[in-house]
Amino acid sequence: MYNFIAIEGCIGAGKSTLTTMLSQHFNCTHQFENFEENPYLENFYKNPTNHAFPLELFFMAERYKQQKSMIESINLFNSKLISDYAFFKSLVFANITLKEDELQLFKMLYNIIYPQLKYPDIVLYLYKNIDKLQENIKKRGRNYETAITNQYLEQLNNEYLHYFKQQNNSTIVILNTNKLDFKANKEDFKLILDILNNQFNKKLNYL
């Protein structure tokens, strides 16, 4: 039903895990963000003010290159593509991290680039509360993520929700996953599959 599926969520929401599981279930192409290749990432967490602009520009350029290449290489009318991010996350993060003059330039570039890409047919947003996100961040043990604050995660969650209320390009499903464990519980994973097999009438849906 949906050929281009994007899994979104805050840092530590479980996007990559679910993308892997879904791509195995559907036996289809998947796409992971190459965030660890960003040379500005570690310095950004140490000093956001000085490194936010090159960080966000690098991310946007890499996301564009990756998605354009992937989408051009497969026929989305006959094949599924599942990605652990949607391109619009570039704007979501930039709205938080950039100063006003930087943000205006960033938006100019973003508005030129984004229309050249295919929008996801559906975006599944994995909502988790801040405590759950921090728990997951600690579990995976990336040193540079230890500086992530509750305030930053709260800002991200809020900015995503703000963006969803304004966009009209993709079907958005916001799923509260605080009590779900789709990796360990087959019924929880089946719930995800049921969602992706459902036809939604509204652009923004809360589950």
Q: Which residues are catalytic?
A: 84
Angstrom distances, CA of residue 157 to CA of 92, 113, 200: 9, 24, 23
Burial class (CB in 10 A: 0-12, 13-18, 19+), 182: buried
Strand 29-31 versus strand 81-83 pairing type? parallel
Alpha carbons 87 and 164: distance in angstroms, whole number: 13
Assign 57 to helix, strand or coil: helix
Alpha carbons 76 and 79: distance in angstroms, whole number: 5
The angle, 0 to 180 degrees and rounded to 10, between the axes of the packed helices 89-97 and 150-166 is: 130
- Enumerate the H helices of 98-199 as residue ranges: 100-113, 130-140, 150-166, 186-196
Q: For residue 93, what are its two tokens? A: 């993060």
Ordered strands of the 29-31 beta sheet:
29-31, 81-83, 4-9, 122-127, 171-176, 204-206
